[in-house]
Amino acid sequence: MSDVTIRRALLSVSDKDGLVDLGTRLAQGGVELVSTGGTARALREAGLDVRDVSDLTGFPEMMDGRVKTLHPMVHGGLLAVRDNPDHAAAMEAHSIGAIDLVVVNLYPFEATVARGAGRDDIIENIDIGGPSMVRSAAKNHQDVTIVTDPADYAGLIEELAANDGATSLAFRRRMAAKAFAATAAYDSMISQWFAFADQGEAFPGFLALNGRAPTMLRYGENPHQEAALYTPVGPHARGIAQAEQLQGKELSYNNYNDADAALELCAEFRGQDPAVVIVKHANPCGVAQRASLREAWDAALACDSVSAFGGIVCVNTELDGATAEAICEIFTEVVIAPSVSEAAREAFARKKNLRLLVTGELPDPRRDGLAVKPITGGLLVQGRDKGAIAAEDLKVVTERAPTEQELKDCLFAWTVARHVKSNAIVYARDGATAGIGAGQMNRRDSSRIAAMKAAEAAEKYGWEAPRTVGSAVASDAFFPFADGLLAAVEAGASAVIQPGGSIRDEEVIAAANEAGLAMVFTGMRHFRH
């Protein structure tokens, strides 16, 4: 018989949600309740009979509660294999009673760190006895039921009702797996705090990664791939994973990936004039800043309206009705905003499949963090690309210095280029992208593709000339040859911003001078693969 009747339960929880209801249901089923500290007090205040752990062990809680459950009377009752004669004899010889159910959730280490507590307080919120009981009960799941998540209380009550006060082996195995995941995540969170926050390590000797509560996705990048979304345990920036979805179909793997790219770029304009970012396949295809969001939308869309079809739109300020109406004129997969006006919600409501996400405050684009990429047999880990440059960091390397407007366009183009897949070329003029070339094997082709898109836009909208004429062009890495620069000249660019650092810098500078370009070096590159 794989069912185990619950006769004695040990409850010790930091999260009291649902505790009294669970304790009441157990008591009504004739289960003896054993508990500690605040948990015991909460149960007694609800009128339930509770036996103190100290009564079970014969030792009082001591050392400010650090030592209370670390005792053979507790762990013997958890770890004893019931049908092992030697274990049964040891239990009888030492008067150890079996514990059939353990309900534990751990000290709030994550919340303590998140509220900015001091080091001593953080250390005190590292649970020792709790994980020990969880692991003991989970190891002996053949005979003991472990529950670590208040969300599982209802399932436990249903399980007991369906099995005359017992739990099935299938239920215990499922809860044991969840329990070990909980302690692994807890230890991972603590190890990360020690490594990154307490010791200031960039790359600790052991990198513990964790995630909780997977959202199962329909599939991955392709239908034959399975996929899920995990959110990190421990302090983290709010992003697409935490956004509130107001309407539309569930997000796909590709939606999440593209939406994250859009949000990361849009965050560059946090707190600035209204900005619109349009992304397709994780690459921006139109970005603009204007006095109003609607004007920014029109300018961003004009950069590459073909690629914008079926894309992701992200804005840096509250989304208004007029802009929402304009976005609805083309097919859009996802729209992201810090907040959404009622008029905008009404406009999007007519597009039932469009996903509308509200993020609240945009993330800090200069925040710390690690970027992790799996490769065969390992993980590549690097710090987030949080590098930034300002006008005073630029080095003018040509005979002609950029004008004030060219400098603004250089910095705008550079901001966008850092979010474009390498090799990246971005033309910008008057606070809007004019052409974007991404992901090519050489910089010359990226320059030409960006110029081609600008020419197509000019033809579509009936402009006298493409917006690349008189634009600034940004390159995410240095021009290794003058050909990429000359392609920009052909497109009509008048200013260039690039990292510099090539062995052919002098050749490229000479070509810029001959063409009458103004060129600045950043000394920083932004490869994005």
Active site residues: 139, 281
Q: Tokens standing for 393?
A: 């960091």
Q: Could you tell me where the DSSP H helices lie in 293-433?
A: 293-303, 305-308, 321-327, 342-349, 404-417
- Residue 316 is classified by DSSP as S
Distance CA 356, CA 358 (A): 7
User: DSSP labels for 277-315?
Assistant: EEEETTEEEEEEE-SSHHHHHHHHHHH-HHHHTTEEEEE
461 sits in which H/E element: helix 443-461
Distance CA 334, CA 320 (A): 16
Residues in the chain: 529
| Count of beta carbons in the 10 Å neighbourhood of residue 467 | 25
Q: Could you tell me where the DSSP H helices lie in 220-370?
A: 253-266, 293-303, 305-308, 321-327, 342-349
Q: Pairing state of beta strands 332-337 and 311-315?
A: parallel
Determine if residue 339 is left, alpha or beta; phi over 0 gives left, psi from -120 to 50 gives alpha, anything else beta: beta
Is the Cβ–Cβ distance between 232 and 265 less than 8 Å? no
Distance CA 64, CA 289 (A): 58
CA angle 73–78–81, rounded 5-degree value? 115
Is the Cβ–Cβ distance between 415 and 478 less than 8 Å? no
Distance CA 438, CA 284 (A): 9
User: DSSP labels for 49-111?
Assistant: --EEHHHHHSS--BTTTTBSS-SHHHHHHHH--TT-HHHHHHHHHTTPPP--EEEEE---HHH
User: DSSP labels for 107-127?
Assistant: --HHHHHHTT--HHHHHHT--
- Residue 251 is classified by DSSP as P
Is the Cβ–Cβ distance between 338 and 317 less than 8 Å? yes
Distance CA 249, CA 166 (A): 41
Find the farthest-apart pair of alpha carbons in the chain and give their distance in angstroms, rounded.
Answer: 97
Q: Tokens standing for 306?
A: 């073909």
